[in-house]
Chain A
Amino acid sequence: MRANEEQLRTWMVGGLAGNAAAHDALLRALLPILRSFYGRRMRGREEDIEDLVQETLIAVHHRRATYDPARPFSGWLFAIARYKMIDSFRRNGRFTTVEGLEDMLADEGFEDASNAQADVERLLDTIPKKQAAVIRATRIEGLSTAEAAIRLSLGESDVKVSVHRGLKTLAARVKDALK
């Protein structure tokens, strides 16, 4: 069973306090999480996955002062992982990744995108918080079910069920609005 957000955060905070055992547990727990994170996104470049995993572990270690314990650990971790992936794409001459696109749109203040985003946010506000959170994590940020489960401290099946129910309600809302 994979460690969840709460557990990872506890280890991270322990490591920041100087507890080497907690830090060791954290880095080892991150191995499978990062392998699957890159595995799902780097199809066709399997040979780079382990390099990226190691670069991310090194960054997590050397730059841990940038983690704010008041914020979610997984948000911090995946932000580093995503940065390392985009950096590797850039080095290899591939500029636009789906993940990079979101940043680009945000940077250039793309109006349509932000309008659409506002619409989505308004719709998500109308469904229960948990369903909105899992949809945001899996469908908007592109996390896998397992990653979302860690982030939100839920079971994987709970995530799946909530996404399904949430999307169903959203579809009904949109249909009603179009009538």
Chain B
Amino acid sequence: MNSEELISNLVQDVRPVRRDALTRRLLAGIAAGGVATFLIVGMWLGYRPDLWLAMHGAAFWTKWIYTASLAGCATVATARLARPDVTSLSWMWIMLVPILGLLIISMAELAHAPSAEWLGMWLGASWKVCSRNVFLLSVPIFAGLLWSFRKLAPTRLRIAGATAGLTAGAWGATLYCLHCPEVSAIFVLTWYTLGIGLAALVGAALGPRLLRW
């Protein structure tokens, strides 16, 4: 087919595109994956029975604000990288704010606890499975993002893969909070962050292959 014929074919189908189409597409992918993850948390792990009670305490919200703020930043970065023209990502240093914030809270908590309890606070009851669960729960959201990217145009595939993984990991962790009963900040800082980081790493590894267009 020559190029003139190609153009004639392409213009058969010119539907209007909303101005916020890119954002909606990304959010739709995240939401679809998020619903799947939400259901998986309920069926596989079970929502914590004291969820309602926990939502009246600070520990739950500390966790949630931590993971949700990382998720928000990562989502914005992914939306930027979904456009082909290169944009600056130096603002992503702002993600250090929640990390340092949680570090300060962790230190304060440890300072108020006898040192004999430190190891228990750090490892909690579920350190062996926490990072793995966060990582596994990120998979449906990452799949949703892959669907979103089918209509988008990233040109820096490795970084786009990393931020997509980070987005999936952080939203996955946010939903994992509905199950995880751990309360100490140092636990969240270590094992949640590890799971989220793992998701970002795998995203970076897969990005060049899966996001090609």
A residues sitting closer than 8 Å to B (CB atoms) are: 15-20, 23-24, 27-28, 31, 50, 53-54, 57-59, 61-69, 71, 75-76, 79-80, 82-83, 87, 103, 107
Question: From B82, which residue of chain A is reached at the shortest CB distance?
Answer: A66
Give the chain A neighbours of B82 by CB distance below 8 A. 66
What string of 1s and 0s marks CB contacts (under 8 Å) between B81-108 and chain A?
A: 0111110000000000000000000000
B1 to chain A: closest CB distance in Å?
8
Whether A68 contacts B10 in the complex (CB less than 8 A), given A17-B16, A83-B155, comes out as no
Residue numbers of B with Cβ under 8 A of A are: 1-4, 6-7, 10-11, 14-17, 19, 21-22, 25, 82-86, 151-153, 155-156, 158-159, 212-213
A67–B21 CA distance with the chains assembled, in angstroms: 10
Distance between Cα atoms of A75 and B83 in the complex (Å): 11
22 contacts between A and B (CB under 8 A): A18-B17, A19-B14, A20-B11, A24-B11, A31-B3, A54-B3, A58-B10, A61-B10, A65-B22, A66-B22, A66-B152, A66-B153, A67-B83, A68-B83, A69-B19, A71-B85, A75-B85, A76-B83, A79-B86, A79-B155, A80-B155, A83-B155
Contacts A53-B3, A57-B3, A79-B84; is A63 near B17 (CB within 8 Å)? no
Contacts A27-B7, A63-B152; is A16 near B16 (CB within 8 Å)?
A: yes
CB-based closest 4 A-B pairs: A18-B16, A79-B84, A65-B21, A20-B14
Q: Is the CB of A63 within 8 A of B6?
A: no
**Hey, which chain A residues are within 8 Å of B6, CB to CB?**
54, 57-58
Q: Determine whether the beta carbon of A64 is less than 8 Å from that of B10.
A: no
A57-B10 Cα distance, complex, nearest whole Å: 9
Q: How far is the CB of B155 from chain A (nearest CB, A)?
A: 4
CB distance from A39 to the nearest CB of B (A): 14
Q: Contact: A18 with B7, CB < 8 Å?
A: no
Contact assessment for B213 and A63 in the assembled complex, using a CB-CB cutoff below 8 Å: yes
Nearest B residue to A70, CB-CB: B19
Bound Cα distance from A24 to B15, whole angstroms: 13
Q: Shortest Cβ distance from B203 into chain A, in angstroms?
A: 16
Cα distance, A80 to B86, chains bound together (Å)? 11
Q: Is there an interface contact between B7 and A80, defined as CB atoms closer than 8 Å?
A: no
Residue of A nearest to B19 (CB): A69
Contact indicator B14/A23 (Cβ below 8 Å): yes
CA distance A15 to B3 in the complex (A): 19
Are B156 and A103 in contact, CB atoms less than 8 angstroms apart?
yes
Known: A54-B6, A63-B213. A80 touches B19 (CB 8 A): no
Given A23-B14, A76-B85, A65:B7 Cβ within 8 A: no
Contact with A65, one of B3, B17, B213 (Cβ below 8 angstroms): B17
Count chain A CB atoms within 10 A of each CB in B10, B86, B159 and give the residue with the most. Answer: B10
Is A76 touching B84 in the complex (CB atoms < 8 A)?
Answer: yes
Contact of A80 with B3 at beta-carbon distance under 8 Å, contacts A65-B22, A66-B82, A68-B83 already known:
no
User: In the complex, A83 Cα to B208 Cα: how many Å?
Assistant: 12
Check B11 against A62 for contact (C-beta < 8 Å). Answer: no
The residue in chain A whose Cβ has the minimal distance to the Cβ of B87 is A71
Q: Is the CB of A66 within 8 A of B83?
A: yes
